[in-house]
Amino acid sequence: MATAATTTRLRYEAIKPKIGARVLNTKEELLSGELSEDILALMEERGVLVFPEIDFADHEQVKFSNSLGGNADELAGQNQDSVFKVTLDEKAQHANVVEYLKGSLFWHIDGTMNPIPIRASMLTAKVLAPEGGDTEFANTATSYADLSDEQKAEIEGLRVVHSLWCSAFYHTPEPSAEQLADWQSKGEAEIPLVVTNSTGKKSLVLGNTAHYIRGLDMKDSQRLLHGLRAFATSEPYVYKHVWKLGDTVMWDNRTSLHRATPYDPYCGRMMHRTIIKGGEAWDQ
């Protein structure tokens, strides 16, 4: 006797025309692994996926990440089987990691200085900030697509130097000489301003690590980088996630700028992060 094949389908609704989707499947359906390809395809299309109040335990979040391509190594000796604690509270995280996470309050892309950026990141809300602490995402593929032909021609082929030490000035504008030397020892990388992935989709690589455009006068370089960032983070391209406890949000790290809105560093806000391997090199 033939048994009917059961196929789990991805159920979702778009959030805004140019960014975001809410995935409506149950936790069991997500953890079954049957939806992995569809989830990655939807993330590629929408940039950011919200899993409302899905309430992943840490091992479930790791399992889900693994089903999408693997939980990559995190900072500070975390291993592939655990979540990484995103908090600004030095009682709950190493001081040097907190220092680095202060940059998350400004528009950025994770890992611009790595030759191969991570494919995606995922945050689960464990403790909410009583005020602020939302997370905003901007889709840099849809904003690139909306540039005029002249603007696209103007930025074609430009290359940008990204550095950690540039991004650190956003939160610590008056470092000591030692602190600056330490930041500068963390490296920089030169990558294209417009990147193309293997499907041919183009997107802008901007944010607080984008220091200057190679070969341009500093003023022109800053005007262009900040002008593009302001456009890319304007209303049509931005989704602001106001967290509920147990929400998980996942974003395409190649095509999403993101930032946390300000919150009290000692309020206890806690996000658990996993990251997904499988990114393509910035420079193709």
Where along the sequence are the contacts to Mn ion (CB under 5 A)? 104, 110
CB of 84 to ligand OGA, least distance (A): 8
Which of 128, 247, 273, 279 binds ligand OGA (CB under 6 A)? It is: 273
244, 125 Cβ separation under 8 angstroms: yes
CB of 119 to ligand OGA, least distance (A): 14
Q: From residue 99, give the alpha-carbon distance in Å to each of 60, 102, 121, 190, 240.
A: 28, 5, 20, 23, 24
- Binding to ligand OGA (CB under 6 A) within 113-132 occurs at 121, 123
In the bound state, the residue with its beta carbon closest to ligand OGA is: 260
How far apart, in whole angstroms, are the C-alpha atoms of residue 204 and residue 107? 13
Residue 208 in contact with ligand OGA, rule: CB under 6 A: no
Q: Where in the chain does DSSP place strands (E)?
A: 12-16, 19-23, 48-51, 84-86, 120-127, 135-139, 159-163, 188-192, 194-196, 202-204, 210-213, 238-241, 248-252, 256-260, 270-276
Residue 61 in contact with ligand OGA, rule: CB under 6 A: no
87, 93 Cβ separation under 8 angstroms: yes
Which of 258, 272, 276, 282 binds ligand OGA (CB under 6 A)? It is: 258
190, 166 Cβ separation under 8 angstroms: no
Residue 260 in contact with ligand OGA, rule: CB under 6 A: yes
- 15 versus 224: smaller Cβ distance to ligand OGA: 15
- 42 versus 123: smaller Cβ distance to ligand OGA: 123
* Strand duo 202-204 + 19-23: pairing: unpaired
- 121 versus 233: smaller Cβ distance to ligand OGA: 121
Binding at 252: pick from ligand OGA, Mn ion, none (beta carbon under 5-8 Å per type): none
- 20 versus 117: smaller Cβ distance to Mn ion: 117
Helix pair angle (164-171, 177-184), 10° resolution: 140
Contact set with ligand OGA (CB under 6 A): 86, 104, 110, 121, 123, 135, 258, 260, 271, 273
